[in-house]
Structure 1
Amino acid sequence: MTPAPAADQSQPLEKGLYIVATPIGNLGDITLRAIDVLRRSDVIACEDTRVTGKLLKHLGIAARLQRHDDHASDAARARLIALAQTQAVALVSDAGTPLISDPGYRLVSEAREAGIAITTIPGACAAIAGLTLAGLPNDRFLFAGFLPVKDKARADTLTGLAGVEATLIFYETAPRLERSLRALAEIWPTRTMAVARELTKLHEECRRGSAAELAAHYAAHPPKGEIVLLVGPPVAAEACEDLDSDALLRAALAEMSPAKAAGKVAKATGLDRAALYARAVELKAG
């Protein structure tokens, strides 16, 4: 691949919208290209001017900042699009790659409809960093953002993702982590999961195990920081022969009816639900 020619940093940037990734923790992860674009942009649209202001101060960049978050009005987006028609506008989030569970989707979509040139400046992304650390299958993965806060909505979301044959990636907050892991343990007790936190920082951690094991650990050791929660893909049916289905059924029967227990184990393992139900009835009776 032929490298792109180096930009002339003495010249103004071409007009348009620049999507700029920033560090997720370690400031050393800012790219040279990102620094150049931020330095030469006419306007930087950001979630929080205080957060971005600290980064720019560290980089020695003086810039015109304009707040742009999830609550930005249609009029605010229209103003940025108008600016990008004649100036260089950079879009950043508080950390990582913009638009990945961060503001920007509507702005980029409307800018594209307006015929504005859009350039991406790639860099750090917590979801991808977590995936590289977890050691879970990564040939197929699905990023699913933040899990819902309410129990029923969370359960409905997870149930809808049950058949996805890929590693699932979620973002989660520290106060909600244990509760989400408990919910995952109910639905997918046998899947391997991972919690990646404090990514790129001094106390970076990636811990693997079942949802129940991870929930117990974080109940005893309350986490801090932003978290990436990863769920391994469903266990292939042919690989389930070595599973102790009776043990799984007994655990489920302690809390639910044979029909529900069979459904739960079938969803977690891929085993035949009818056969599991028949066995659950036997276990319940015995």
Structure 2
Amino acid sequence: MPRCEGGSSKDLLRCSACSMAFYCSRECQKMHWRKDHKSACSFYAVNRDHAIKISGNPRAWTDLVTWTQYHHASLVNASLACYLRRVAVGKAGPDTVTMLHLEMRYLNDRKLPPHRQFELCEARFVSPGDKKWAGMCGIATCYRPAAVAMGKREMPHTYWGTGGYLLTVRFRKEPVDIGEDYVPFWKHFAIDQERAHARPACRNPLDQLEENIREGRKMRFCCGRIEGAPTCCCGGWTHETVSVISRAPADRG
């Protein structure tokens, strides 16, 4: 999400059409609209309207965006760990056809905060052989070239790759059809060389992700500063060192 220097998080303006982008000023919003946001915004606005229609809740899409913001670090950490495990066994890292996929259900419970409004049904790494979700994966990967270009601009000397995660969310209580009942939501993210050389912990990253989502834990990106530090901000999740994991349980962060 684009931000300008000096912008206060509590003063940020949200795009009223898609709820996805935040800006520190009207000028920043206009510049981003002309440069990158126009086409993606219109697509997300269609998904927003569909989510509202089939759920009957005008806050359905905003709840999803807020949920994703809350769990973004967990999703990225899980994706990164999966990519690194693939590389370790000789497979390709971040690419256009493989990404973390979460199948989810909207609880639509007004008593719950947004970060608890979605139930995780299944988490897996999606490959071309997964025909059930091939269409939605194809839509998400259409936007990947722009994400790759942005990552290379932001990390001209440290860029390693661009990963992604895809959420397919069922907003209707009783499913009828994948195309009608599920709404796609995806994010791409750049990975630098430092994170690309992290050593994932022994625990299955998808099990850790499921636990974080189920218990409403919010994680931060790992700072990577382990030596001499009493803890690290990923809770030891992306690290192999047993002492770090014991000092910083995964529910801290």
TM-score, structure 2 length as denominator? 0.24
- Highest CA radius of gyration, 1 or 2? 1
